[in-house]
């Protein structure tokens, strides 16, 4: 399993977005890849880490499995696959940029974000939602 393969799989079967930490009013990077083939999802998880989940079975559908990365682990995966990404490259760049900006704007782990950084986070979150919208033409 190579970073190139993971980039292709993420482009086709993945989602790059944010999780909002309400307590700290910050964003956290998240990557999810789901597929009905457990074998390939297990290989991805064993090679690149992340958490493996069985997704709830929907009527008339086959069982789906998901590997998820969040936080710094998600950032590391994005940095690894970024050179090979095509379809979701904009999402990857947006998430990495937002995480870097958020990290540099905090003076300590307990310090909150400035109003300016919270505004930037909200804009990044809206932008990622628009990029991820289903049915959006390229």
Handedness of CA 117, 121, 126, 132 (dihedral sign): positive
* Interatomic CA distance for residues 21 and 12, integer angstroms: 27
Q: Interior CA angle at 11 toward 9 and 17, to 5°?
A: 110
**Angle between helix 89-105 and 72-81 (nearest 10):** 140
CB–CB of 125/111 below 8 Å? no
Q: What is the pTM of this model?
A: 0.80
123 token code pair: 């804009």
Per-residue pLDDT tens listing for the chain (138 residues): 999 999 999 999 999 998 887 777 778 899 999 999 999 999 999 999 999 999 888 788 888 999 999 999 999 999 999 999 999 999 999 999 888 887 776 554 455 667 777 777 778 878 888 887 766 555
**Structural domains for the chain:** 3-132 (3.10.28.10)
53 token code pair: 């989940």
């Amino acid at each position: 399993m190579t970073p190139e393969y993971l980039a292709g799989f993420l482009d086709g079967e993945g989602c790059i977005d944010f999780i909002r930490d309400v307590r700290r009013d910050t964003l956290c990077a998240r990557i999810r890849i789901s597929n009905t083939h457990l074998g390939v999802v297990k290989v991805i998880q064993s090679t690149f880490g992340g958490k493996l989940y069985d997704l709830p079975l929907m009527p008339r559908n086959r069982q789906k499995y998901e590997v998820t990365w969040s936080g710094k682990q998600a950032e590391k995966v994005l940095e690894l696959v970024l050179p090979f990404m095509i379809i979701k490259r904009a999402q990857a760049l947006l998430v990495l940029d937002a995480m870097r900006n958020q990290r540099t704007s905090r003076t300590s782990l307990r310090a909150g974000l400035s109003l300016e950084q919270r505004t930037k986070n909200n804009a990044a979150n809206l932008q990622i939602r628009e990029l991820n919208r289903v049915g959006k033409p390229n």
